[in-house]
Amino acid sequence: MQSLTRSLSAVAILIGLASGVVIGAEQAGQQPSKKETQEQFDARMKWWRDARFAMFIHWGPVSLKGTEIGWSRGKQVPEEEYDNLYKRFNPEKFSAKQWVDIAKAAGMKYMVLTAKHHDGFCLWDTKTTSYNMMHTPFKRDVVKELAAECKRQGIVFATYYSILDWYHPDYNVSVRGRPGYKLPAGQAPDLDRYVKYMKTHLRELIKDHGPLGILWFDGEWEKPWTHRRGQDLYAYVRSLQPDIIINNRVDKGRSGMAGVTKTDEEYAGDYDTPEQQVGKFQTGRPWETCMTICSQWAWKPNDKLKSLEECIRILVNTVGGDGNLLLNVGPMPDGRIEPRQAQRLREIGQWLEKNGQSIYATRGGPFKPGKWGASTHKDNKVYVHVLNWPGDTLALPPIAQKIVGSSLLGGPKAAVKQTDQEITISVPTSDREPIDTVVVLELDAPVRN
Ligand code: FHN
């Protein structure tokens, strides 16, 4: 409950802002009269919770080098060279339709694009700096094109935005590397000026390219960023678009790569963000695992591609834990999503065409994930995803509801026995699926979340 209070109080800041209370960084944390109720929060999160599966996209001029976005600047790629890649970035084969077609074929319901990563390069037509897409040979606002195509095809469009910026001199780059351009002589780095720059970006993204489904913040972990600034930024973004969803990396509450929000303060952010790992079973606070389909976030030639089985297992264990899966692709320097990555995504989509009712708009549980697999539920149906059969029979803990029917998803009967001590499920090996055998249990009453 306390975790929900955290997000509610952060929203209270927003409502104060919306009611004319101007919150500067120093004022963040004011408690205006109204708080977002549980019902309002649940209503705002509903489309996102129901979506369950989405595309993450890490892209920028660094794809020319095949090294990691942001992190390879000043390491595998000298800063000077990295910061000038945009002058030869010309993704002539970029097609927003191709990317959205692939996301749809994969069964993905929203898309999160790195509008600005740690390297400071802006993928949209921003008026704040020439370090953007319109100053490349390509001269096109790819954020605008993708947003329009997502709208046309019914996929929710969202942007990732890095709070830390190793290119902008006002970000106190003493934390890492040197800025991509120099401040005027005698002018010291000024974080308040950088926050104004960042807020202008967010206004451009939301007002000129939105509405956005999510503002996916990242890069909150370095010293210059503070809890108060995080609360202020959350309130600012919600004031621009009250129904937008914001992850927990806007503030300082994230506990490392496990992504769960700490409870020692009331931190801003609507959901937790485990990274490169399936989050733990958690139903009290929304969460989303972000994971690469290869090994690198940005494009890397001949990178290791996850198998279909790995992808399905990750998806099932994530949704079985009551989380969303944000699966990342890194498009190529010519603008295409690599054909073998696109093919893998199509294969996941084919699996979802058959099994999607056990994923979309479900909640995790009632059986917690284990070596055997995971479970999801919706209304009075439980979907038992058996990934590893322990033998002829799978034994699960008892539940309060009575099982009144059972079958394989869209298939033959499954032998299910229920006592007060356990539930046992048997499926002949000939009827089992190679990756995930989904057993549907019909109950005499819905499962309570
Ligand atoms: O440093 C970034 C990394 O490049 C990538 O964007 C991931 C995915 O969200 N987030 C940060 C690492 O935690």
Q: Is 62 in the pocket of ligand 1 (CB under 6 A)?
A: no
Q: How far is the CA of 218 from the centre of ligand 1 (A)?
A: 7
Three-state SS for 228? helix
Q: What confidence tens digit (pLDDT) does each residue in 108-121 have?
A: 999 999 999 999 99
Which pLDDT value is given to residue 34? 59
Q: How far is the CA of 400 from the centre of ligand 1 (A)?
A: 42
- What single letter denotes the amino acid at residue 323? G
Of 117, 115, 285, the C-alpha closest to 212 is: 115
Q: How far is the CA of 200 from the centre of ligand 1 (A)?
A: 22
Atom of ligand 1 nearest to the CA of 58: 6
Atom of ligand 1 nearest to the CA of 117: 6
Q: What confidence tens digit (pLDDT) does each residue in 356-415 have?
A: 999 999 999 999 999 999 999 999 999 999 999 999 999 999 999 999 999 999 788 889
Which pLDDT value is given to residue 223? 84
**DSSP E strand boundaries for 276-435:** 288-292, 324-329, 363-364, 373-378, 381-386, 393-396, 403-408, 415-418, 423-426
Query: Quick one: DSSP state of residue 192?
Result: H
For 266-282, b/e burial (b = at least 16 CB within 10 A) is bbbbbbbbbbeebbbbb
Q: What confidence tens digit (pLDDT) does each residue in 4-36 have?
A: 444 444 444 444 443 333 334 333 333 333 589
Which pLDDT value is given to residue 1? 37
Q: What confidence tens digit (pLDDT) does each residue in 53-70 have?
A: 999 999 999 999 999 999
Which pLDDT value is given to residue 35? 80
Helix ranges (DSSP H) in 187-255: 191-203, 209, 227-240
Q: How far is the CA of 15 from the centre of ligand 1 (A)?
A: 30
Position 175 confidence tier, pLDDT thresholds 50, 70, 90: low
Contacts of 183 (CB under 8 A, 6+ apart): 169, 170, 189
Q: What confidence tens digit (pLDDT) does each residue in 221-239 have?
A: 998 899 999 999 999 999 9
Q: Is 275 in the pocket of ligand 1 (CB under 6 A)?
A: yes
Domain with CATH 3.20.20.80 in the chain: 2-363
Mean of per-residue pLDDT scores for the chain: 92
Side by side, the strands of the sheet bearing 423-426 are 393-396, 423-426, 415-418
Biggest distance spanned by C-alpha atoms of the chain: 78
Residue 278 reports pLDDT greater than 50: yes
Atom of ligand 1 nearest to the CA of 221: 13
Query: Which CATH class for the 2-363 domain?
Result: alpha beta
Three-state SS for 211? coil
- In this prediction the pTM is 0.92
